Amino acid sequence: MRTVGTLKSAGVRAGDEVVVPAYGSAEVARAVVELGAVPVFADVDADSYCLDPAAVADVVTTQTAAVVAVNRFGRRADAGWIREVGQRHGLLVLVEDEPGADPAGADLRRAHAAYLDGRLNGVRTPTPAAGHTYEQYVVRVPGNGRPDRDAFARTLRAKGVACRVPVLAPVYRMPGLRRDVFLPQTERAVDETLALPVHAGMSRRELHKMVGACNALGGLLQPAF
């Protein structure tokens, strides 16, 4: 990411507000702080995990100078609507790729994702979207939020499935970035999401095994959607 340089060259100054995602890596928010500007956190869309344009509009003030959206897990942010919000308020709008994003192997990841989409029924699968590269295949675990998600993940790992929690906390709870805010979609995503492996080297047998494990466990939980 070249967030600092781009914001600086566009005239964003110390004290200006920059709207950033509350869910995901803290890198963008820290770049804003490095510039001397003020990160303002906006909630995310429940399906894409990217900035929700309506949430962006809700936090814009007379001090807002820019919005930085981030493509999340290989899914593109709703740049068109976010730019419309930016134009309405005279804001710079940047759309960045997630740190570590790698388009190599996207076709195989998409094939793995399609296989899982058609077979998983114990978890809520990602909402399909054009151009999704599935850098991570992020599902939602039904039940009682974080306790059930964490128990689900532990059991999957015990069965040999290398799952991981993609985001451990909202950015506004991270050191140096703490704010007294509560964004419901961000909080829910942090508590419910789990990334299942879909890397290009996975075999169909491994995918089948993962489907069986997820479906058996998910059937024991009450959906919270």
Q: Are 224 and 192 in contact (CB under 8 A)?
A: yes
In a domain, 72, yes or no: yes
**Per-residue pLDDT tens digits of the chain, which is 225 residues long:** 577 888 888 889 999 999 999 999 999 999 999 999 999 999 999 999 999 999 999 999 999 999 999 999 999 999 999 999 999 999 999 999 988 788 888 999 999 999 999 999 889 999 999 999 999 999 999 888 899 999 999 999 999 999 999 999 999 999 999 999 999 999 999 999 999 999 989 999 999 999 999 999 875 555 444
Residues 83 and 111 in one domain: no
Instruction: Check whether residue 121 and residue 195 sit in a common domain.
Output: yes
The answer on 89 and 71 residing in a single domain is yes
**Which structural domain range is residue 29 located in?**
3-97
Please report, for the domain that includes residue 124, its CATH number.
3.90.1150.10
Question: Do 119 and 89 share a structural domain?
Answer: no
Given a contact cutoff of 8 angstroms between Cβ atoms, the answer to whether 73 and 45 are in contact is: no
**CA 90/CA 95 separation, integer angstroms:** 16
Q: Are 35 and 15 in contact (CB under 8 A)?
A: no
The beta-strand segments (E) located in 46-198 are: 64-71, 92-97, 137-140, 193-196
Question: Has residue 224 been placed in a domain?
Answer: no
CATH number at residue 88: 3.40.640.10
Task: Write out pLDDT tens, residues 57-112.
Answer: 999 999 999 999 999 999 999 999 999 999 999 999 999 998 878 888 899 999 99
Q: Does one domain contain both 85 and 183? A: no
User: Would you say residue 223 lies in a domain?
Assistant: no
Tell me, yes or no, whether 115 and 34 share the same domain.
Answer: no
Number of domains in the chain: 2
Last residue of a domain, one of 72, 97, 122: 97
* Assigned domain for 129 exists: yes
Pick the last residue of a domain from 97, 119, 149.
Answer: 97
**Do residues 89 and 115 share a domain?**
no
> Do 14 and 93 sit in the same domain of this protein?
yes
- Are residues 121 and 200 both part of a single domain? yes
Question: Is 117 in the same domain as 205?
Answer: yes
Helix (H) or strand (E) holding 152: helix 146-158
Q: Do 29 and 90 fall within a single domain?
A: yes
Task: Please enumerate in sequence order all residues whose Cβ is within 8 A of that of 175, keeping only pairs 6 or more positions apart, or say none.
Answer: none
